[in-house]
Amino acid sequence: MLLCRLSLENEKGTEKLCELVLSGKISGTVLARSLNTFPDSLWQKKFRGLLKNQLDCRRVPIANRCLDDCLTFGDWLSGKLDFSNSNSSQAPPSKKPRLRTDTTPDTSKEHDAWLWRCLFSPWIAVRAAAAKIIVAVAAQPGHLGAAVSVLLRGLPMASVAPPAMTDHFFRAAHAVIGGGPSIKARLYAEGLHVWLIRVIYKECKRMHEEEQQESRMDHSFGTLLRSYVELLCLMLTGSGVETMKLKAARDHILVPLFQSTIFLKRTRAVEASRCSLERLLRRISAKDPLMLMRAAVQSLDAIEDLNTQAHIVSVILDVLNPEQKEEEEFHIQIEKDPAQEDFLQGRMTGNPYKSTDVGLGPLMRDIKNKICRDTEMIALMEDDNGMEVSFWQLS
pLDDT in tens, 18-65: 888 888 778 778 777 777 777 777 777 787 887 787 776 454 444 444
Residue 173 reports pLDDT greater than 80: yes
Phi, psi for residue 390 in degrees, rounded to 5: -120, 140
pTM: 0.50
- Mean pLDDT for 238-255 is 56
How large is the angle between the packed helices 223-235 and 167-177, nearest 10 degrees? 0
Produce one character per residue of 353-371: b if its CB has 16 or more CB atoms within 10 Å, e if not.
bebeeeebeeeeeebbbbb
- Percent of the chain predicted with pLDDT > 90: 0
Q: What is the pLDDT of residue 146?
A: 85
With cut-offs at 50, 70 and 90, classify the pLDDT of residue 92: very low
With cut-offs at 50, 70 and 90, classify the pLDDT of residue 6: confident
Grouping H, G, I as helix, E, B as strand and the rest as coil, residue 394 is strand
Amino acid making up residue 327: E
Q: What is the pLDDT of residue 338?
A: 64
Q: How many Å apart are CA 244 and CA 249, to the nearest integer?
A: 8
For 309, half-sphere exposure in the C-beta direction (CA atoms, 13 angstrom radius) is: 7
Q: 96: part of which helix (H) or strand (E)?
A: none
Query: Is the model more confident about 314 or about 247?
Result: 314
Q: 335: part of which helix (H) or strand (E)?
A: strand 331-335
Grouping H, G, I as helix, E, B as strand and the rest as coil, residue 98 is coil
Residue 220 reports pLDDT greater than 50: yes
Residue-wise pLDDT for 338-379, tens only, equals 666 665 565 666 667 776 676 666 677 777 777 777 776 666
- Mean pLDDT for 267-286 is 74
Phi, psi for residue 67 in degrees, rounded to 5: -125, 40
Residue 89 reports pLDDT greater than 60: no
Specify whether the CB–CB gap between 207 and 266 falls below 8 A: no
Q: What is the pLDDT of residue 240?
A: 54
305: left (phi over 0), alpha (psi -120 to 50) or beta: beta
Q: Among 246, 330, 325, 242, which Cα is nearest to 291's?
A: 246
Residue 202 reports pLDDT greater than 60: yes
Residue 215 reports pLDDT greater than 70: no
Q: How many Å apart are CA 131 and CA 347, to the nearest integer?
A: 68
Mean pLDDT of the chain: 70
Residue 66 reports pLDDT greater than 70: no
Residue 10 reports pLDDT greater than 70: yes
Strand partners, 392: 333
